[in-house]
């Protein structure tokens, strides 16, 4: 399975903070989530490329704001993971201040893909991310990932439970099941990206 827009992705640049980011124009979707949740893996599957974003078994692999350009107007952005150092720390403090600034001030940023391991979604820092994005009005789409590690029943229960919470407390967020391993949920994820990227499928 391929998508004509995302398969064109090429590495553009890495920035430590907002002031080093490319010009703030067009459409961007960033991938956030706990370290090791599978952000970089999802980016590779969504762009049909084996090693566009670097993946690793070692948490904390991604340390900069990494831009992957799709066309002159659009980019996907791989963000460093949070939560591998300490729990119960304010997510803004835990992350580099530059990263918080990128999320709060970037005009091109149209939506955040929030990756959560389907086996333990809604960890304290995930909840903080949902609170924060709600506060600043940034739309979120949760990928409940590593769905291949769950039974069909466990997966639908996890999704149902999450959707209930989102409906109640986080109307700016939607959710789906996803697996980079067996490519489950790819079409649904592309549909959401297309919407944020203002991309009309021909
Ligand atoms: N079974 C399974 N493993 C996955 C899946 N997605 C990622 N992984 C594995 O999980 C580990 C972490 O994946 P990454 O994509 O590097 O995670 P990340 O969120 O980018 O991590 P950081 O950059 O450290 O924040 C790797 O060993 C991947 O192979 C999935 O859908 N299913
Ligand atoms: Mg990564």
How do residues 129-188 score in pLDDT, each as one tens digit?
999 999 999 999 999 999 999 999 999 999 999 999 999 999 999 999 999 999 999 999
The pTM (predicted TM-score) of the whole model is: 0.93
Å from CA of 69 to ligand 2 middle: 17
Neighbour tally for 131: CB within 10 Å: 12
Å from CA of 36 to ligand 2 middle: 7
> With a 6 A CB cut-off, is 54 part of the ligand 1 pocket?
no
Residue among 117, 126, 120, 121 nearest 181 (CA)? 117
Please tell me the predicted confidence (pLDDT) of residue 91: 55
Would you say residue 88 has pLDDT above 50?
no
Please tell me the predicted confidence (pLDDT) of residue 200: 86
Å from CA of 82 to ligand 1 middle: 14
Q: What is the mean pLDDT of residues 69-86?
A: 84
- The percent of residues in the chain predicted with pLDDT above 70, rounded, is 88
pLDDT (tens digit, 9 = 90+) per residue, 5-28? 999 999 999 998 889 999 999 999
Max intra-chain CA distance, the chain: 46
Atom of ligand 1 nearest to the CA of 82: 25
Å from CA of 202 to ligand 2 middle: 31
Would you say residue 127 has pLDDT above 60?
yes
More confident site: 136 or 80:
136
Q: Whose CA is nearest to atom 2 of ligand 1?
A: 146
> With a 6 A CB cut-off, is 57 part of the ligand 1 pocket?
yes
Question: In the numeric block, which tokens belong to residue 108?
Answer: 């091109």
Q: How confident is the model at residue 81 (pLDDT cuts 50, 70, 90)?
A: confident
Q: Which residues does residue 69 pair with via DSSP β-bridges, in sequence order?
A: 10, 75
Selected from 3.20.20.70, 3.40.50.300, 3.40.50.720, 3.40.980.10, the CATH number assigned to the domain covering 6-197 reads 3.40.50.300
User: What is the rounded distance in angstroms from the CA atom of residue 9 to the CA atom of residue 17?
Assistant: 22
Q: Which helix (H) or strand (E) holds 197?
A: helix 186-197
The residues near 69 (Cβ < 8 Å, ≥ 6 apart) are 9, 10, 11, 12, 75
The answer to which of 4-13, 74-83, 93-102, 105-114 has the lowest mean pLDDT is: 93-102
175 close to 162: Cβ distance less than 8 angstroms: yes
Question: In the numeric block, which tokens belong to residue 9?
Answer: 């992705």
> With a 6 A CB cut-off, is 44 part of the ligand 1 pocket?
no
């Amino acid at each position: 399975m391929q998508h004509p827009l995302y398969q064109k992705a090429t590495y553009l640049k890495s920035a430590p903070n907002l002031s080093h980011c490319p010009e703030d124009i067009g459409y961007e979707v960033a991938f956030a989530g706990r370290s090791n949740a599978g952000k970089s893996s999802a980016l590779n599957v969504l762009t049909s490329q084996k090693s566009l974003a670097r993946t690793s078994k070692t948490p904390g692999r991604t340390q900069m704001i990494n831009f992957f350009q799709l066309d002159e107007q659009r980019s996907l952005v791989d963000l460093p993971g949070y939560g591998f150092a300490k729990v119960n720390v304010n997510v803004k403090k835990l992350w580099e201040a530059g990263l918080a600034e990128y999320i709060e001030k970037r005009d091109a940023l149209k939506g955040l893909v929030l990756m959560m391991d389907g086996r333990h979604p809604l960890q304290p820092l995930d909840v903080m991310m949902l609170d924060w994005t709600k506060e600043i009005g940034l739309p979120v789409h949760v990928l409940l990932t590593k769905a291949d590690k769950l039974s069909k029943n466990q997966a639908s229960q996890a999704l149902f439970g999450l959707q209930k919470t989102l409906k109640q407390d986080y109307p700016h967020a939607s959710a789906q099941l996803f697996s980079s391993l067996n490519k489950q949920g790819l079409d649904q994820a592309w549909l959401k990206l297309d919407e944020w990227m203002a991309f009309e499928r021909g």
